[in-house]
């Protein structure tokens, strides 16, 4: 497992919070701007967003290119020296590049991730954060072609095969270059393509799926996000604070975590009452199905002192606590900046306590 630029746990944030939808010019300005904001507000590291404004000629609604990887690779010396200069001037390190999409199911997404791995290797960035994704479209196409008798075992076998063919070489390339490929365990409930068999569309979001990936992809790591264990917890575990699944997740997978997202969540009680565990068929929020709400850390139901105690105990290689701001009540760049400032004030004392009861 590759190391971290940090020597002890510290605060960071995913820069999509400030750069989402912004018309950013390629170059180092956006990275410098985020590092300056981080320095001024108690953050010591960045998880740098690399979500293109368009891909394959198609404009994308979800975009934020704090770093434009095509520009960076075409202007490599300027990019590498710029990262070093920004880190030196601010003391804020680039801990990861982030692009979460359907890496297994889309060649465009894999090609983009491959470029990020190239840049991370050349710039000395220890982590590339992404997803596994799914092969739903391929299963649907196979069914349309007459393979509608595929059993669950056959679908799993196909997934395992494509992990070996598509994900494992990408991870090996990263590892050989001194970089972690860290998959986030986020379900992306229905958001990455339809599926007749499960609401999970990132097949790395529960222990059954995660264990398959770990068996087939040597060297892969995890960018932990325990809010997903809380939000998608098994119904037999009860406890809306979800200390049991949070600790189980850390205990089982903490040794392969190289970074941790900070995100909070709360049960959408009205949505659960109306739609039970299956979710709202007519909701526009495919991520939650109206069963839970993403919240800024400290505004939901996660017990973060317990979270940090578990991180210290079970995930010693994960140094960055990277805020991933998905709270729908937080709007616009100014709103995100205010929320990031509040999260820093909320969580840094928890880090300083270093897991003390």
Tell me the longest C-alpha to C-alpha distance in the chain.
Answer: 60
Cα atoms in the 13 Å half-sphere on the side-chain side of 56: 7
Residue 172: inside a domain: yes
Tokens standing for residue 273: 């009452």
Q: Does residue 357 sit within a domain? A: no
In a domain, 17, yes or no: yes
Claim: this prediction has a pTM higher than 0.85: yes
How many structural domains compose the chain?
1
pLDDT of amino acid 69: 98
Do 179 and 121 form a contact (C-beta atoms < 8 A)? yes
Q: Tell me whether residue 146 is in a domain.
A: yes
Distance CA 285, CA 290 (A): 7
pLDDT in tens, 63-83: 999 999 999 999 999 999 999
In whole angstroms, give the CA distance from residue 281 to residue 191: 13
9 pLDDT exceeds 60? Answer: yes
Q: Lowest-confidence range among 85-89, 146-150, 165-169, 226-230?
A: 146-150
Domain hosting 343: range is 10-352
Domain assignment present for residue 5? The answer is no
CATH number at residue 121: 3.20.20.150
Q: Name which of 320, 325, 355, 319 is nearest 340 in CA terms.
A: 325
Query: Residue 173: CA atoms inside 13 Å, Cβ hemisphere, count?
Result: 18
Q: For residue 296, is it within any domain?
A: yes
Average pLDDT over residues 190-201: 81
Report d(CA 149, CA 143) in Å as an integer.
8
Please check whether residue 3 lies inside any domain of the structure. no
Across 32-41, 104-113, 229-238, 266-275, least confident range = 229-238
Residue 356 pLDDT exceeds 90:
no
Is residue 2 a part of any domain in this protein? Answer: no
């Amino acid at each position: 497992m590759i190391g971290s630029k940090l020597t002890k746990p510290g605060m960071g944030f995913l820069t999509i919070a400030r750069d989402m939808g912004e018309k950013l010019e390629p170059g180092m300005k956006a990275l410098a701007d985020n590092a300056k904001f981080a320095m001024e507000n108690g953050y010591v590291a960045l998880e740098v967003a690399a979500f293109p404004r368009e891909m394959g000629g198609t404009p994308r609604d979800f975009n934020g290119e704090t770093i434009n990887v095509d520009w960076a690779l075409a202007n490599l010396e300027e990019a590498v020296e710029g990262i070093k200069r920004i880190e030196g001037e601010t003391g804020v390190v680039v801990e990861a590049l982030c692009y979460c999409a359907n890496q297994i199911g889309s060649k465009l997404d894999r090609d983009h991730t491959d470029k990020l791995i190239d840049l991370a290797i050349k710039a000395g960035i220890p982590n590339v954060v992404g997803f596994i994704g799914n092969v739903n479209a391929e299963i649907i196409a196979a069914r349309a072609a007459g393979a509608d008798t595929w059993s669950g075992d056959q679908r799993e076998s196909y997934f395992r095969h494509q992990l070996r063919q598509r994900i494992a070489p990408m991870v090996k390339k990263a590892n050989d270059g001194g970089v972690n490929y860290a998959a986030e365990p986020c379900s992306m409930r229905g958001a990455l393509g339809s599926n007749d068999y499960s609401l999970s569309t990132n097949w790395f979001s529960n222990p059954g799926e995660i264990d398959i990936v770990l068996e087939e992809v040597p060297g892969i790591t995890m960018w932990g996000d325990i809010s997903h264990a809380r939000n998608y917890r098994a119904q037999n575990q009860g406890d809306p604070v979800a200390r049991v699944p949070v600790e189980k997740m850390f205990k089982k997978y903490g040794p392969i975590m190289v970074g941790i997202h900070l995100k909070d969540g709360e049960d959408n009680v009205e949505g659960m009452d109306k739609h039970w565990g299956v979710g709202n068929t007519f909701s526009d929020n495919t991520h939650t199905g109206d069963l839970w709400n993403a919240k800024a850390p400290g505004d939901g139901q996660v017990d973060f002192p317990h979270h940090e105690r578990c991180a210290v105990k079970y995930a010693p290689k994960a140094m960055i606590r990277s805020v991933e701001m998905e709270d729908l009540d937080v709007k616009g760049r100014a709103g995100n900046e205010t929320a990031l400032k509040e999260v820093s004030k909320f969580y840094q004392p928890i880090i300083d306590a270093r897991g003390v009861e």
